[in-house]
Amino acid sequence: MPARFQPLAAVLAVLITEARKKHPRPSTPGLYDMDSWLALWRSAQAVPVGQPVAERTSSGAADGQSPSSTCVPGERRQTVPRQLPPATARLVGRQAELAMLSRLLDEDAAPGTAVISAISAISAITGTAGVGKTSLAVWWAHQVAHHFPDGQLYVNLRGFDPSGQPMAPADAVRGFLDALAVSVERMPTSLDAQVGLYRSLLADRRVLVLLDNARDADHVRPLLPGSPTCLALVTSRNQLSGLTAQGAQRLALDLFTEAEGHELLACRLGAERTTQAPDAVGELVRLCARLPLALSIAASRGVTQPNFPLSALVDELREAAGPWDLLDGGDTATNAEAVFSWSCRHLSEPAARMFRLLGLHPGPDISLPAAASLAAVTPGQARRALRELSRASLLAEHVPGRYAFHDLLRAYATELSRRLDSEAERRSAILRVLDHYLHTAHDAHQLLSPVQDLLSLSVSPPRSGTTPERLSDGEQALAWCETEHPVLLSAISYAGAVGLDVYARDLPLALFAFLSRRARWYDQITTQREALAAALRLRDRNGAARVHFCLSHVHTQIGLYDEARTYAERSLALYQETGDQAGQSFACCLFSWMCGQQDRHRDGLAHARRALELARACGHRVGQAMALTLIGSHHSRSGDPQQAIRCCQEAIELCRSPGEREFEAYAWEILGYAHQQLGDCGRAAACYQQAVTLFGTGGYRFAQAAGLTRLGEAHRVAGRLDAAREAWQQSLDIYAELDVPEADAARVKLAHLFGAPCSLPVSEAPPHATGH
């Protein structure tokens, strides 16, 4: 070793020794390697005097990238997911279990899979709903998060959800890929491919994966990372013997001990109060069966009545005890229903009724307006009832204005409604809340869809007591759909399962515009298939034709052309059976677009011309504009720009109402490309600018970015480099915001414009009509 490095080596040796004591398992490979540190020092010494060392390294190094990597302005840095839900303010007891979990991180214990399941006298339900598996797992995950610097992933798999609808592994994997910044365009179509990508992304990273409420081993297997550097923590009612047989370590979580039950009550009620009534505290612990959830509910009652002696609470709990088969351990001391019924007894009648009806809601949570419709009350009355339930710990406002049940409380509410509410009242409540979602979604669709009559719905007036939400513009429509998206998916699944086919058919059609705007193709496919099954049960040919159209559209969008063609053929056949010429025109447009995506322009022209003929025969102006836009696209891409110009100009004249501006924008874009083919870059730029403006006004961000890319290309060809730079920078900003692969092409264009080395061509592909 050169003499000049010996002092540095001595200091590093001491620092590394101390670091090993505190963190024996470093998250960064080579962190304790002396040679690596000396090599870094040599590199720093090689930097010319006066040049900061930071200029040699990438700005992305701080984000976990290699020092040699570069960061072009606008580039998205690696995403580190932090998905853990909040931990409880204090975890009572569980010290032995926490120690066992922490041993997973000992130097001699390789990362892998840990399983937390439940054993208790009241079987699995106590475990899922109240024994505290999730609380323990989340608490411990927060404590050790620093051991996993590459992120923490979390999902509630709803394996024992009262609705009976556990989350599919495919949905969970896609959620993880979203969290790992995989864009829609890069998302594989099959589950196996998605699992492969997920495991590839986790390879050599240190990531904690918390899989909450799994149904069984098969439910969770696709979600287990394959890298030995990761740790999967699974909670389940099931013992998951299939995983433990493969080496997973099992932690059986039992009920609280007597001492832990006392500690929880002292935490919630105050040590002075519990110390003054030790016998009553002991009796509360026994009556609550040492179940953490039941103890928490009992404590909340004591908190809201600080002047009540604890002995009075014990008496009320004894009197409220009654049978509940699923939570009956054989005597009143292990009857958890007593705790819930005791809490509900002190509710006002409006709050008690709201509690029962909330058990009928498909979940996973509910907004205040939807709760008002469910109970047929005013929003003010609903707000008071929901707040009362939240104060009694029977409901949680997990985000402002949205309320959710613990799954055991949901099951209890459902059981209460079955006992106390008539069948007619329960059915009316379900129909009111489905009406609420359908009518609000229908309003959102009308604000978002550029072609109102393509998927127009004839919905009956909402039932008495239903108060759909009023949306004033497209921005509000998008926000509502985004917020209610999980609930709407649950509502569609529920409606299909219980035979409410009108809702199962119409809700997916009402969501079509939103899911398309957000490029949620897999949700689109799932919901439209549910709609198709409902339409067929209803023997509704018009509805089936619309659903086949939607399924063809989404399969074309993701490049599954064989499936898309099958759905389009069926849609066209059904429209022919019903004599709907406008529908036939739309179906022919689908065939034309499909052909364009596959560079089959002769076939595409034939389909577009047939679509135009049908639209003209029935006087359908939007259908004519769609067909002319497609004809222009095929002509431009076949080398006939003059004909493309004539078609697009005619399409533009037809698209003059606000709901048709999307098609006008596509026509302007193709018109710009045709002028560019003729060498008139000035006119091409003007057309592209008009398209960009229309796309921006309508909120079509992806299409707006594509138009800016073409606008920049027209400026570049004309020698207007400053204008090209501005357009491409705007395009890059939008693509980076949307996190799509097209951002890379935008960076290439900017790099080429500034003279940076670039081996990729900058020629622009022609636009596709409706192809953004």
E-strand spans in 460-575?
none
Give bridge partners of residue 396 from the DSSP assignment: 404
> 745 in a domain, yes or no?
no
List, for residues 613-659, the tens digit of each pLDDT value.
999 999 988 899 999 999 999 999 999 999 999 999 999 998 877 66
> 458 in a domain, yes or no?
no
**Residue ending a domain, choose from 253, 284, 301:** 253
Q: Where residue 409 sits, what CATH number does that domain have?
A: 1.10.10.10
As to burial, measured by CB atoms within 10 angstroms (0-12 exposed, 13-18 middle, 19+ buried), residue 334 is buried
pLDDT at 114: 58
Q: Do 632 and 523 share a structural domain?
A: yes
Q: Do 364 and 226 share a structural domain?
A: no
pTM summary value: 0.67
**Residue ending a domain, choose from 695, 729, 751:** 695
DSSP 33: -
> 725 in a domain, yes or no?
no
Residue 158 makes CB contacts below 8 A (sequence gap 6+) with 165, 166, 167, 213, 364
Q: Do 477 and 410 share a structural domain?
A: no
Structure-block tokens of residue 344:
């509900």
Domain span holding position 369: 349-421
Answer for the pair 155, 219: CB distance below 8 angstroms, yes or no.
no
Q: Do 585 and 503 share a structural domain?
A: yes
Give bridge partners of residue 348 from the DSSP assignment: none
Q: Do 134 and 233 share a structural domain?
A: yes
Rounded to the nearest 10 degrees, the angle between the axes of helix 621-637 and helix 661-677 is 20
Residue 196 makes CB contacts below 8 A (sequence gap 6+) with 188
**364 preceded by cis ω (within 30°)?**
yes
pLDDT at 577: 95
Q: Is residue 207 classed as helix, strand or coil in its secondary structure? A: coil
> 736 in a domain, yes or no?
no
> 87 in a domain, yes or no?
no
pLDDT at 308: 84
pLDDT at 501: 96
Is the four-CA dihedral 40, 42, 47, 52 of positive or negative sign? positive
Buried b (16+ CB within 10 A) or exposed e, 67-87: eeeeeeebeeeeebbebbeeb
C-alpha closest to that of 346 among 287, 286, 298 = 298
Buried b (16+ CB within 10 A) or exposed e, 361-384: bbbbbbbbbbbbbbbbbeeeebeb
pLDDT at 505: 96
Structure-block tokens of residue 429:
């409540």
Spans in the chain with pLDDT lower than 50: 1-2, 5, 27-30, 32, 38-77, 107-110, 117-129, 321-335, 339, 756-764, 772
Residue 442 makes CB contacts below 8 A (sequence gap 6+) with 457, 459, 506, 510
**Residue ending a domain, choose from 345, 376, 407:** 345
> 711 in a domain, yes or no?
no
- Cα distance between residue 213 and residue 133, in whole Å: 9
- Cα distance between residue 587 and residue 548, in whole Å: 9
Answer for the pair 676, 717: CB distance below 8 angstroms, yes or no.
yes
Q: Do 298 and 371 share a structural domain?
A: no
- Cα distance between residue 641 and residue 625, in whole Å: 18
The separation between CA 684 and the C-alpha centre of its own chain, rounded to angstroms, equals 39
Q: Do 397 and 274 share a structural domain?
A: no
Q: Is residue 250 classed as helix, strand or coil in its secondary structure? A: strand
C-alpha closest to that of 137 among 236, 62, 24 = 236
Q: What is the largest CA-CA distance in the chain?
A: 94
Q: Do 335 and 369 share a structural domain?
A: no
- Cα distance between residue 261 and residue 265, in whole Å: 6
Measured at the alpha carbon of residue 572, what is the angle toward residues 570 and 575, in degrees to the nearest 5? 110
Q: Do 268 and 150 share a structural domain?
A: no
> 450 in a domain, yes or no?
no
Q: Do 327 and 272 share a structural domain?
A: yes
- Cα distance between residue 367 and residue 376, in whole Å: 14
Q: Where residue 138 sits, what CATH number does that domain have?
A: 3.40.50.300
* Backbone φ and ψ of 354, nearest 5°: -60, -45
Q: Do 518 and 383 share a structural domain?
A: no
Answer for the pair 505, 514: CB distance below 8 angstroms, yes or no.
no
- Cα distance between residue 339 and residue 299, in whole Å: 10
Domain count, the chain: 5
Q: Do 285 and 195 share a structural domain?
A: no
List, for residues 534-547, the tens digit of each pLDDT value.
999 999 999 999 99
pLDDT at 714: 92
> 25 in a domain, yes or no?
yes
Other beta carbons within 10 angstroms of residue 89's beta carbon come to 6
- Cα distance between residue 208 and residue 227, in whole Å: 11
Structure-block tokens of residue 645:
């110009």
